[in-house]
């Protein structure tokens, strides 16, 4: 079981690095533009560009669908993806307020796009070893 946990944690780290790499931008608006690009190619391409979601879903099912922390990670990953999709739709509709559009141009901290590489694997480690 410990070998499985280490394997899944390392795999999740690699998935999170990939996601942070392709989404990396100086502002939230830049991140959403990258997401929007893949969304307009095809929604399934965008979903495939989030391998950590699919990995966490697999781990959740592999563990028998039990575990509060695994459920939390899955809900957080799903909410992140749903929020991005919602934001892209609102941008396409032109339904964002001027204040909100202004927030999209605020610079992100250099560590902000990479925090998922630490948080999700740490939560997964706690879920699989606890």
The string of pLDDT tens digits covering residues 45-91 is 999 999 999 999 999 999 998 889 999 999 999 999 999 999 999 99
- Asked if residue 41 lies in contact with residue 5, where contact means CB atoms within 8 angstroms, the answer is no
Q: What does the pLDDT read at residue 122? A: 96
What mean pLDDT is reported for the chain? 93
pLDDT band for position 1 (50/70/90)? Answer: low
The b/e string for 36-49 (b: 16+ C-beta within 10 A; e otherwise) is bebbeeeeeebeeb
CA distances from 10 to 29, 79, 93 (A): 30, 23, 39
Q: What's the whole-number mean pLDDT along residues 34-50? A: 95
- Asked if residue 82 lies in contact with residue 38, where contact means CB atoms within 8 angstroms, the answer is no
Q: Which one-letter DSSP state was computed for residue 113?
A: G
The string of pLDDT tens digits covering residues 117-128 is 999 999 999 999
- Distance between start and end Cα atoms, the chain: 12
pLDDT band for position 96 (50/70/90)? Answer: confident
Portion of the chain with pLDDT greater than 90, in percent: 82
pLDDT over 80 at 98, yes or no? yes
Q: What does the pLDDT read at residue 97? A: 86
């Amino acid at each position: 079981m410990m070998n499985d946990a280490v394997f899944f944690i390392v795999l999740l780290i690699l998935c999170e690095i990939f996601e942070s790499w392709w989404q990396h931008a100086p502002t939230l608006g830049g991140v959403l533009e990258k997401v929007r690009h893949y969304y307009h190619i095809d929604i399934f391409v965008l979903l495939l560009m989030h391998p950590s979601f699919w990995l966490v879903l697999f781990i959740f099912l592999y563990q028998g669908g039990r575990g509060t922390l695994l459920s939390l990670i899955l809900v957080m990953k799903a909410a992140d993806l749903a929020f991005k999709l919602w934001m892209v739709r609102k941008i396409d509709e032109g339904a964002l307020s001027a204040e909100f559009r202004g927030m999209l141009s605020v610079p992100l901290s250099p560590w902000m796009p990479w925090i998922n590489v630490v948080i999700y694997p740490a939560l997964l480690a706690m879920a699989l070893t606890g």
